[in-house]
Chain A
Amino acid sequence: METIQVGDFNFQLDLSKPLYEQVLQHIRHAIARGDVRLGMKLPSVRDLAQQLKINPNTVMRAYQELDRDYLTETRRGQGTFITSDTETVDQVKKALANEAVIAFVSSMEKLGINRSTAESLLKEVVWHE
């Protein structure tokens, strides 16, 4: 899978999964990680669709979803801007972390690993900090 850079964002699209969700996740994660400056303008729908070679409807749908989470704000005639509100970003980051933890827990459960074992595993694992 090739990485396509558009503005400050890096996209890797997998055609075997819904594209709209992937675009959404890439932007969400980039904002949560702090890869992009707050208050900055997102690439225009046309630019993003052109670079990723995807249907502009898909990009528009992802942007609408970001707006709904208050992670971005679309100003008429100007484009879509990332929020400058750090609190919103923190909330989203927390929500994403929660999702990841839930996924982790469910895969541990599938392996039959209980909570204390999982916690000790977590302590042993190397963190790239």
Chain B
Amino acid sequence: MSNAIEIKYLNKSYGSKKALDDLYLSFPEGQITGLLGPNGAGKSTLFKAIVGLIRPQCGNILIFGQNPHWKLNAEIAYLPDRAKWYKDHTIKQALTYALNILPGFDLPRALQMVDLMKLDLYDQVSTLSKGQEARLHIILCLARKVKLVLLDEPFSGIDLLSRERIIQSLIDSMLDLPQTIVISTHEIHEAESLFDHVVFLNKGELVLEGNAEALRQERGSIDSIYRGLFQ
């Protein structure tokens, strides 16, 4: 199977602190990969390097065979860490903006998701709860016909119902359009049954990676492996 993303000897440090330490790994194409690790493991830094928000000191990133570039972001839906959307938009305005700005944005699908996610088109973002706003972010990412979806902590700090709705739409998205999806999280229990592949990071280094089913066979649930590695 080919890889959507290949990371080779990637290094990034902030001052004396190493965020990514000679990281070498790959994400298989067409699968859902869980990028797991405690806070400060380097998950967000890795995503940011892929979408070009930060510049690694050395190493190489290949996304479908190409180096990160703003043009490549047309094929990547990225949910930033602790993302916030423009407060002055209504949900409808957010979707219109996305339609105008983001290549491959599928408005009918987005509207369908708004319905499914129980959001109101005329609500203003500033009035939304954290969970509701997280659902809007997911719509803005998943209603795009792109090859790669990167979700940085989509489940953190939101209510159970919102989490379930997000998982629902991830499953739908997988069925409607073959995509490579990478989800970073440190709340594994909810999402682990979604993963085809998992990658464990700690302190910017790769700790373990593998097919989720094979790892279950060998070592038990992903959640328990995580606990074993980090607690």
Direct touching of A and B (C-beta under 8 Å): yes
Give the complex CA separation of A58 and B174 in angstroms.
12
Nearest Cβ on chain B to A99's Cβ, whole angstroms = 17
- Contacts A15-B222, A16-B221, A18-B213; A53 near B175 (Cβ below 8 A): no
Residues of A within 8 A of B194 (CB): 53-55
Closest to A45 in B: B175
The A interface is mostly helix, strand or loop, or mixed, namely: helix
Residues of B within 8 A of A46 (CB): 171-172, 175
Within residues 173 to 207 of chain B, which ones have a CB less than 8 A from any CB in chain A? 174-175, 192-196
Asked if B223 is at the interface of the complex by the 8 Å CB criterion, the answer is yes
Contact A50 B168 (CB under 8 A): yes
Contact A49 B217 (CB under 8 A): no
Asked if A19 is at the interface of the complex by the 8 Å CB criterion, the answer is yes
Residues of B within 8 A of A70 (CB): none
Residues of A within 8 A of B208 (CB): none
Interface size on A, residues (CB 8 A): 18
Residues of B within 8 A of A54 (CB): 193-194
The B interface is mostly helix, strand or loop, or mixed, namely: helix
Residues of A within 8 A of B224 (CB): 16
Interface size on B, residues (CB 8 A): 23
Asked if B44 is at the interface of the complex by the 8 Å CB criterion, the answer is no
Contact A18 B222 (CB under 8 A): no
Asked if A17 is at the interface of the complex by the 8 Å CB criterion, the answer is yes
Asked if A20 is at the interface of the complex by the 8 Å CB criterion, the answer is yes
Contact B193 A15 (CB under 8 A): yes
Contact A16 B220 (CB under 8 A): yes
Contact A55 B217 (CB under 8 A): no
Nearest Cβ on chain A to B34's Cβ, whole angstroms = 11
Residues of B within 8 A of A15 (CB): 192-193, 216, 221-223
Interface pairs (11), CB distance under 8 Å: A15-B223, A16-B216, A16-B220, A17-B217, A18-B213, A18-B214, A18-B217, A19-B193, A19-B213, A53-B171, A57-B174
For the complex of A and B, the 10 pairs showing the least CB-CB separation, nearest first, are A15-B221, A16-B220, A16-B221, A18-B213, A54-B193, A49-B171, A18-B216, A56-B175, A18-B217, A56-B174
Task: Using CB atoms and an 8 Å cutoff, list the residues of chain B in contact with chain A.
Answer: 31-32, 164, 167-168, 171-172, 174-175, 192-196, 213-214, 216-217, 220-224
